Every structure is written in structure tokens, then in C-alpha cells.
Amino acid sequence: MGLGRASLRVALATVLLGASLLAAACGSAADEPEVRGTSGGERDVTLTVAAATSLAGALEEIGEGFRATRPGVEVTFTFDSSSAVARQIREGAPVDVFASADEISMTNLVDDGLIAGDPAIFARNELVIVTRPGNPTDIDSLADLSDAGVIALCGQDAPCGRYAAVALDGAGVVLDESKVTRGQNVRATLAAVVHGDAVAGIVYVTDALGAEDAVAAVAIPPDLNVVATYSIALAEDAGDARTAEAFVAYVRGDEAQAVLAAHGFLPPT
């Protein structure tokens, strides 16, 4: 009978119920602000860390370590390209700590008065070419990318996209945009090579390491490579500044630095 009147009525009722539940949920969420106080010692503190996608693996591990040193502290992460995360923070996302893969995204937030104190550089990274396992199309250099097929790069404003543009520019390689698929962050760019049909991509060394056998890595010589500097800072309106500060200090400390090194990051200096 298809969409009869009775079923339409049921559908309408369902939609209305959904809307009212949603309204109720929003209402209660607004009524009960997140518990961030320091009254009960350090219990029930939730730290929200927004970071560059390339940091995902390392920061999650670091988060585990931080939690272990501070019972009752919960650390949640949100990852996207640094430029996307910066935009979210500008839109008022409740973030306590921001870790950026480039200085531009961080500086923009500093200029907007959304960062407390000075950002600290805590890691560096380099670019690498990734291809299918076994490098079937014989890509040996940035120059080989120009006639290889569809290449995966990050969006022009994501740090990995900006760095890749600098490296390609330095090598004098011009890629036809109709042969470039742009990932919204470095994970998506890597995925276009791992799962999709992109012939090659430019990502960070750490992403290639993390992908293990799913890709083959082709090194970019140091004179053409670009060094990405990662900085971390407290958001201006961090909920629990003390815990946020402690997290930033922990990321710069020996334990976290060892984790970063294990993921392939270079030390900050």
C-alpha cells in the first residue's frame, strides 16, 4: 500500500518524538556543564585535545600514559587537519589543548587571541612519497609524480598540502590539478593510496611508517624535503588550565618524546 495516511501519521509522530527528545537532550546538556572544577582533587576532569591527524597514533598512546599518571583524568581527542581543527576552535569548539602540524594554523589562532601563552614546538616530521606496495609504477622521485597517474595530496590549506606544495615547487614539479585528488586530512590522503586507486601520494614519514606494508615509501632527498614543525598550546578558554598545562608538559617530557620517536617523529630541535 505504500505510504498510506496512517503510516505517514506514524512517521510524523516519530519525527516529532525524535525532535523533542533531541531538544530535551540538548537542554540537559546545557544545564549541566562539564565537571571540570578542581574541588574534588583531580577527579572527573575531562581534557579535550584537538590535534593534527598525523599525530593521532602517537597522541593516543601519549594520552594513555598521561592518564596512567593522573587517576580520574580523562583525555579525549579530536583529529583533523590542523587548519580544520583551527577553524573548529575559531567557531567555539570546547577545546583545552591544540596541537598543530604547522605554524600557520597555530599563529592564526594566536593572532585571534584564542591561545593562552606561547605555543611550544614539541616534534618535527618530514614528507615522503608513498606508492602501492612494491612500487609497481617505479616512482623514484618527486619528478616522477608528474606523469604517473592520479596523485593523492592533502587539501591546499591543510599543512600536509601546503608542505607538499613547497616540496613540489622546490623540485620544479607542476602537477595537473585534474590528476590530483585532495584528501581533507593526511589520513584521507593516505587512504586514497591504500584503499583507492591513487598511484602515489605525499604524506608524512610517520604516516608511511604507520601504514606498514600497505604502502611502499619513497624517500624525498633532504634538499627537497620540508620539515614540518609541530607546536602545542593551551586554548585561551581551557576548562581546567592546570590539567591542560600538565598535559602540554607531559607531551614535551621524556616519556612522550620516546613515544613520538617510536612513531617516527623527529625531536623538536
Partner 1 sequence: MSRSGRRPPIPVVVVAALTVLFFSLPLVGILQRADWSTVWSDLTTDQAVDAIRLSMICSVSAAALSVVFGTPLAWVLARTAVPGRPLIRGLVLLPMVLPPVIGGVALLAAFSLRSPIGSWLHDAFGIQLTFSTAGAVVAATFVAMPFYVLTVEGALRGVDQRYEEVAASLGADRLTVFRRVTLPLIAPSVAAGAVLAWARALGEFGATITFAGNVEGRTRTLPLAVYLELESDEQAAIALSLVLLVVSLVVLVSLRDRWLVRR
206 binds partner 1 (CB under 8 A): no
Residue nearer to partner 1 on the CB measure, 111 or 254: 111
Residue from 53, 83, 125, 206 in contact with partner 1 (CB under 8 A):
83
> What b-and-e string marks burial along 120-134, b requiring 16 or more CB atoms within 10 Å of the CB?
eebbebbbbbbbbee
Other CB atoms closer than 10 Å to residue 12's CB: what's the count? 10
For residues 32 and 160, give the distance between their C-alpha atoms in angstroms, rounded to a whole number: 38
16 binds partner 1 (CB under 8 A): yes
CA 97 vs CA 79, 89, 116: distances in Å: 12, 10, 10
2 binds partner 1 (CB under 8 A): yes
Residue nearer to partner 1 on the CB measure, 46 or 181: 181
CA 223 vs CA 34, 245, 267: distances in Å: 49, 36, 19
158 binds partner 1 (CB under 8 A): yes
Residue nearer to partner 1 on the CB measure, 120 or 214: 214
Q: How many residues bind partner 1 (CB under 8 A)?
A: 35
Cell 594566536 maps to which residue? 110
Least CB distance to partner 1 at residue 181 (A): 3
Question: Residue 100: which of 76, 79, 124, 82 has the closest Cα?
Answer: 82
For residues 100 and 53, give the distance between their C-alpha atoms in angstroms, rounded to a whole number: 9
Query: DSSP state, 92?
Result: T
Least CB distance to partner 1 at residue 91 (A): 10
Residue nearer to partner 1 on the CB measure, 202 or 251: 202
- Enumerate residues 180-199 that contact partner 1 by CB under 8 A: 180-184, 188, 192, 195-198
Residues lying near partner 1 in the complex (CB under 8 A): 1-3, 5, 8, 15-16, 19-20, 22-23, 81, 83-84, 87, 150, 152, 155-158, 177-184, 188, 192, 195-198
